[in-house]
Structure 1
Amino acid sequence: MHLPVHLGGAGVTQTKAAPVRVLGFDQALLWVTVALLAWGLVMVYSASIAIGDNPRFARANYQETYFLMRHAFALVVAFVVALLSFQVPMRTWERAAPWLFVASIILLVLVLIPHIGRSVNGARRWIPLGFTNFQPSELAKLAMVMYAASYMVRKMEIKERFFRAVLPMGIAVVVVGMLLLAEPDMGAFMVIAVIAMGILFLGGVNARMFFVITVLVVVAFAMMVASSPWRRERIFAYLDPWSETNALGKGYQLSHSLIAIGRGEVFGVGLGGSVEKLHWLPEAHTDFLLAVIGEEFGLIGVLVAIVLFLWLTRRIMHIGRQAIALDRVFSGLVAQGIGVWIGFQTFINMGVNLGALPTKGLTLPLMSYGGSAIIMNMAALAIVLRIDYENRVLMRGGRV
């Protein structure tokens, strides 16, 4: 369209404006997520291909593609769940947040009931669904994000009062924590506690109150470690994984993880060339996937993974800050809570693999084998994309 502009009696015709394309959501965030999922699928196959030859799993009769096919199936289900999650407006998520939290509590109770929950290696964390197993603790992470964000929005006017604002949230975390420790799953409890603390802090809780909460949580975890002989053994093994006792005991996984990363050097031994995954490194396709990445892709591969997760976490937090700036506090806290979840769990997993933290059973988000984790991670990131989409609609003058 040409618009005539009159300047001092002279007619000037304005040139046609170039069309501006506004993207509906953050495509960079989407493609980084897809890249991590695809890389994870390849690495799960590489890390699990030899499990069928391990005498420990002779009765299971695993085929070479067993874990690959199950992981691929989980990705398909996760993609469908993510599409559905993206369609749900944030105001609906806000209304459903308390009910989602209640549902997660019920599932955490059900998993502890014999003949309902499935026990593996002494831990009762899964509910069999026939074609797969569901881990309620993964749903509890997303439910805690939603509930804590909703809670802070409802308690915004009294957030400076400890007993009226913070204590009820603390009770909710304690209830979830007791159920998780009964499984036991201390790793999931750590993540959920950090999510709740992070949202309280980002929601504007008084700094002194937050400091008190932090001290109480640290003391609680210290008491749990002190009261559990096998947790104490893990701490001591972490401090000296190369001693004869620890290298063959509680430090076995850590020592072989470090051997794998050391073998990779700078450029790695090549995809599929890992030796440690050949029955030496336990849980190579789950908790210690980064060690296999370090062995096959070297320092370069580990640094690429760190940069991708760092960018992902930073971008999620930015979307959350943008939502809060648009006066969408619930959406902003949800996005930032998901950022805390992904960032903290990644930090713990990488720290364990690199020997910087004591061994703890937490998977690498988006990459490690585990259907429930993949589905919940994808649902959470789809919600972040929904928040970004609604931010863009508002900034264009629309309504959500």
Structure 2
Amino acid sequence: MKKTVILLVIVVIALVAVSIVMVYSTSAIYAEEKFQDERFFLKKSLFWVGISIGPFILCSFCNYRIFKYLSLFLMAVSMGLLLLTMFGPFGHTAGGATRWLRIGPIGFQPSELAKMAVIVYLADVLSRKQDTIKFFFKSLLFPSLLVCVILFLILQQPDLGTTALVALITLMMFLVAGIKLTYFFLSIAGGVMGLAVLILKFPYRMKRVIAFLDPFQDPQGSGFQIIQSFIALGSGGMYGVGLGEGKQKLFYLPEAHTDFIFAIIGEELGLLGTFCVTVLFFVFFICGVCIAYRCRDVFGKLLATGLVMAISVQAAINICVVTGMMPTKGIPLPFLSFGGTNLLVNFIATGVLINIALRGNDKVVDVKPVKKQRIKLIPGR
């Protein structure tokens, strides 16, 4: 298991190193234009990496089982922050969505904390209800409703991408916990129908789907971003045009240093660069699955499953969006895209995974209280 931990740490270090280099490469011109400081985003990235190291080390060495006692607290805090984002004075709107809380110079996304809170809460509840896990209405109805409240609040920002991601993580944790396949497939069917309604109800989402099917139908509108992404990926060829030499980041490709950083990696480092990044995420996924599989503690197994799914599925969605395999959605690439909250949460998740790898094989003994029995005294004995 120590080899898995070492490999996991190496993967994260490699991803963060690539992130620092590529964030500077993709954002320097934009930062100079907007903030008169080409290193603006580089400095912020280094700041958040420094901030994230402390929680990463703490979560790596403190017993992960402490999260069992914090699950409801984390859910309550997440709900409070999501409500504060929508109705409080600190909600920050950008791009038509109110997803950030901004207090002075510090801004963060409560939906990232909510994602972590849902994983911890479900791991706690599902591990405690193993005896009745097959009876959905008896054991899982209330937890499901509580998660739905979180999903509803995230959806109101609006943030359909994160909502779908958290819902998918929830379903995967239910499956690993041993829920009946009937309920699992019914949940998938319900989720697909709900997603279809949410897309059809809002014209801008429908435009994204149409742009996904045929981006050249509206090349200057809904299809613009994905077309620019295609140009970036196609320009890179096998080995790329060279680090810092990309053209699409020069105000052609929107969000080049955030959601579409993978496209610039393809342009500047080529197919070889994107392949290496994809391999790093695949190795991360395999390490996480091994940690979850080998963990003997049910809570640890479910927690590891949720955390590795959160990072791996998010990476897969981002890469699929950038390469035109899914409709455009604001899902950042874990560890690589510029963004403080996402980086911090990913570092914490990795720290917890390492902790589970180191402690998850410890023998966990559930001590059940012994029932008091009356002892009848037989006369003469």
Q: Is the 8 A contact 2:225 2:254 kept in 1?
A: yes
| Residue ranges of structure 2 left out of the alignment (5+ in a row) | 365-381
Deviation of the 1:121 alpha carbon:
1.9
Q: Is the 8 A contact 1:293 1:302 kept in 2?
A: yes
1:378 is aligned to 347
Structure-1 separation of matches of 2:209 and 2:36: 33
1:353 is aligned to 322
Structure 2 counterpart of 1:34, from 13, 19, 22:
13
Helix, strand or coil: the match of 2:333? Answer: coil
Structure 2 counterpart of 1:207, from 181, 187, 194:
181
Deviation of the 1:97 alpha carbon:
1.4
Deviation of the 1:131 alpha carbon:
3.4
Deviation of the 1:38 alpha carbon:
0.8
Q: Percent identity?
A: 34
Structure-1 separation of matches of 2:32 and 2:46: 21
Structure-1 separation of matches of 2:109 and 2:12: 22
Q: Is the 8 A contact 1:51 1:62 kept in 2?
A: no
Give the alignment's TM-score, normalised by structure 2: 0.92
Q: Is the 8 A contact 1:126 1:135 kept in 2?
A: yes
Q: Is the 8 A contact 1:24 1:392 kept in 2?
A: no
Structure-1 separation of matches of 2:337 and 2:19: 6
Structure-2 separation of matches of 1:151 and 1:393: 21
Which residue identity is paired with 1:371? G
Q: Is the 8 A contact 1:261 1:298 kept in 2?
A: yes
1:169 is aligned to 143
Structure-2 separation of matches of 1:236 and 1:341: 27
RMSD of aligned residue pairs (Cα, Å): 1.6
Q: 1:392 to 1:162 in 2, by over 3 A?
A: closer
Q: Is the 8 A contact 1:24 1:389 kept in 2?
A: no
After TM superposition, the structure 1 = structure 2 runs for residues 246-285 of structure 1, keeping only pairs within 5 Å, are 246-285=218-257
| Residue ranges of structure 1 left out of the alignment (5+ in a row) | 1-21, 396-400
Deviation of the 1:63 alpha carbon:
1.3
2:190 is aligned to 216
Deviation of the 1:362 alpha carbon:
0.3
Deviation of the 1:114 alpha carbon:
4.2
Structure 1 counterpart of 2:294, from 311, 314, 322:
322
Q: Is the 8 A contact 1:144 1:195 kept in 2?
A: no
Asked if residue 308 in structure 1 is aligned to residue 277 in structure 2, the reply is no
Helix, strand or coil: the match of 1:267? Answer: coil
Greater Cα shift, 166-175 or 261-270: 166-175
Asked if residue 364 in structure 1 is aligned to residue 333 in structure 2, the reply is yes
Structure 2 counterpart of 1:52, from 31, 36, 48:
31
- How many pairs align? 364
Q: Is the 8 A contact 2:4 2:287 kept in 1?
A: no
Structure-1 separation of matches of 2:168 and 2:2: 33
Deviation of the 1:53 alpha carbon:
5.2
Which residue identity is paired with 2:16? L
Structure-2 separation of matches of 1:92 and 1:316: 20
1:195 is aligned to 169
Which residue identity is paired with 1:353? V
1:85 is aligned to 59
